[in-house]
Structure 1
């Protein structure tokens, strides 16, 4: 009828039964191989709060914060980076900071009033003065990259 050898058909049936058993097994019932993970759920929630509060946290800072928070934890920077990128699904992206105080209504009116006051004076502010916007100056002192969710 079919031109398949008897032993080949037996192997196909055995493979099919094996796949059925694997599909019925839950992930927790399977025997896990390899070294157990060092970082777990409490570490993930701690790192999530760290990166939510300050996305420009470096991996060195994350490792030191983890070892301070969890006593007896010894972990390398590469393990934390792998955990953050693979388990927490965070990526290292370019960050654009927007100052909160810069665009508030009262600051805009203060700036406008200050500029109109100085333009009405007799001082030549275009050649004798240097103007620095404090909000933009502070933002540019921060790192230009940080961790955020994938996507």
Structure 2
């Protein structure tokens, strides 16, 4: 381990009176430690970056700034109908060019040309910007004959699902294609039919035909000596089928 001799500037080194060693103080400093020179950082050469490294650093910075940049929507200067009316009147009455008339009315030049073309394309009675835009709608797919078929189909089978109704409709009308959402919309708006909670009741359970069949089969069993009350189980077919029916059905809205 090296020990550095510390010599404060305000105190001078004093020799020990009892010491017999005649070694000089400078020799003692060299003997017990080395005075280290402080390095001046200003004179140290700084390595310069190569051009390729500088380009790479610059590209990284550009990418970083692009990621954090918040895109603000472009602001467009608005103009009203009074400016459009004045623009058309100046062109017609004063005969100014489109750029000069647009400048007086504070309308962009590109918009001014479009407004003038729109005005010339019409009969001159409607100012540009007042023409209502037609809604883009697809061709109508279902017509009254389709509605009549659907109403009859739901009357026959109120618990039919939309997919089955769509298949039957497309089978009956060749070449027809329609999606489930469009079919449901047509059923509700044009056919006035909607899904409702169904109330189940067995129509054939107490019908005269059903009662007569039960009476005849019981008499046949009695004649054959069959104890139907002990050996037979009656299954209510109408009640059984009612449990297979959906709890919701189509009905008039």
| TM-score in same-fold range (> 0.5) | yes
- Higher gyration radius (CA): 2
Give the Cα–Cα distance (whole angstroms) in 2 for the partners of residues 68 and 123 of structure 1: 49
* Corresponding residue number in structure 2 for 1:17: none
- For residue 152 of structure 2, the aligned residue among 49, 69, 73 is 49
Which structure 2 residue ranges, 5 or more long, are not aligned?
1-133
* Corresponding residue number in structure 2 for 1:90: 193
Give the Cα–Cα distance (whole angstroms) in 2 for the partners of residues 107 and 65 of structure 1: 32
* Corresponding residue number in structure 2 for 1:12: none
Give the Cα–Cα distance (whole angstroms) in 1 for the partners of residues 250 and 172 of structure 2: 20
Higher RCO (CA-CA < 8 Å; seq separation 6+): 1
Normalised by the length of structure 1, the TM-score is 0.61
Q: Does 1:70 align with 2:173?
A: yes
Residues 122-151 of structure 1, C-alpha deviations (whole Å, 9 max, x = no match): 8884xx86542111111211222111001x
CA apart distance, 1:111: 5.5
Give the Cα–Cα distance (whole angstroms) in 1 for the partners of residues 154 and 212 of structure 2: 35
Give the Cα–Cα distance (whole angstroms) in 2 for the partners of residues 124 and 105 of structure 1: 22
Give the Cα–Cα distance (whole angstroms) in 2 for the partners of residues 68 and 133 of structure 1: 35
Moved over 3 A (4+): 105-114, 121-125, 128-131
Give the Cα–Cα distance (whole angstroms) in 2 for the partners of residues 122 and 139 of structure 1: 29
Residues paired across the two proteins, number: 114
CA apart distance, 1:37: 2.1
* Corresponding residue number in structure 2 for 1:103: 206
RMSD of equivalent CA atoms: 2.9
Could you say if the C-alpha distance between residues 129 and 37 of structure 1 is closer, same or farther in structure 2, counting changes exceeding 3 Å? same
Residues 13-42 of structure 1, C-alpha deviations (whole Å, 9 max, x = no match): xxxxxxxxxxxxxxxxxxx84323211111
Which structure 1 residue ranges, 5 or more long, are not aligned?
1-31
* Corresponding residue number in structure 2 for 1:147: 250
* Corresponding residue number in structure 2 for 1:27: none
Give the Cα–Cα distance (whole angstroms) in 2 for the partners of residues 40 and 109 of structure 1: 47
Which one is further off, 104-113 or 41-50? 104-113
* Corresponding residue number in structure 2 for 1:34: 136
Q: Please show how residues 5-16 of structure 1 align to structure 2 within 5 Å.
A: none
CA apart distance, 1:98: 2.6
Give the Cα–Cα distance (whole angstroms) in 1 for the partners of residues 170 and 228 of structure 2: 57
Normalised by the length of structure 2, the TM-score is 0.39
